[in-house]
Chain A
């Protein structure tokens, strides 16, 4: 892989790892509260819709999802190699495609929420 591409992939991996390390415990805790039926006030429709309508909200959610997706994609690629799947080219296409689809869907839904 060319050095420039490697730096890009590693930059996204490191940024996504940092963002997910700091924020995902909170995100998982939110889903846990929802699963328990104790949906917090901030996740009531009007409140969350208001947050997702603001540009600060859109950019924050998009940034977190984008970086986390590319972090997970790159790490999954390496994990596949570690677990004995040596078809790195095919694995790379699959994981980066998934990250691209996720990124585009996140951008699409966030832009469509008004």
Chain B
């Protein structure tokens, strides 16, 4: 190694803005903030449920607002694109499947995930009485 190796200058705080792939990586990783937000919002809902009918209905009423509609709609689209789709795309790389001697095609594994997701979501929507 030379005494003065060249180190490419790289910002520690904005490096992911240099390249489209890095940007997608950063946009995907920050979905963890949405996971945390909705987990704690659900825990807050559990607290209201534990306190009784009045608290529960007050909680539901407190959630009704135009800013929250916009936020949830944005979060739904963002989360689906960057977390759900991203996670399903990675699934065949994280756990490749063998059928006998043959590898299952990556597209089959990804498609299987979407199918299960659709069935689970439809079941849950039916379960809570939306459909």
Interface size class of B (residues with CB under 8 A): 35 or more
Closest to B88 in A: A21
Taken together as a complex, chains A and B put the C-alpha atoms of A84 and B26 apart, in Å, by: 12
Q: Which of B1-9, B50-58, B102-110 contacts A (4 or more CB under 8 A)?
A: B50-58
Residues in chain A near residue B84, CB distance under 8 A: 21-22, 24-25
B-contacting residues, A18-53, CB 8 Å? 18, 20-37, 39-43, 45, 48-49, 52
Residues in chain B near residue A83, CB distance under 8 A: 13
* A29 with B76: CB separation less than 8 A: yes
* A27 with B42: CB separation less than 8 A: yes
Closest to B35 in A: A72
Residues in chain A near residue B16, CB distance under 8 A: 82
Map CB proximity to B onto A57-71 as digits: 1 under 8 Å, 0 otherwise.
000010001001101
Shortest distance from the beta carbon of B46 to any chain A beta carbon, whole Å: 4
The interface of chain A, by Cβ under 8 A from chain B, is 14, 16-18, 20-37, 39-43, 45, 48-49, 52, 61, 65, 68-69, 71-73, 75-76, 78-79, 82-84, 86, 98, 102, 105-106, 109-110, 112-113
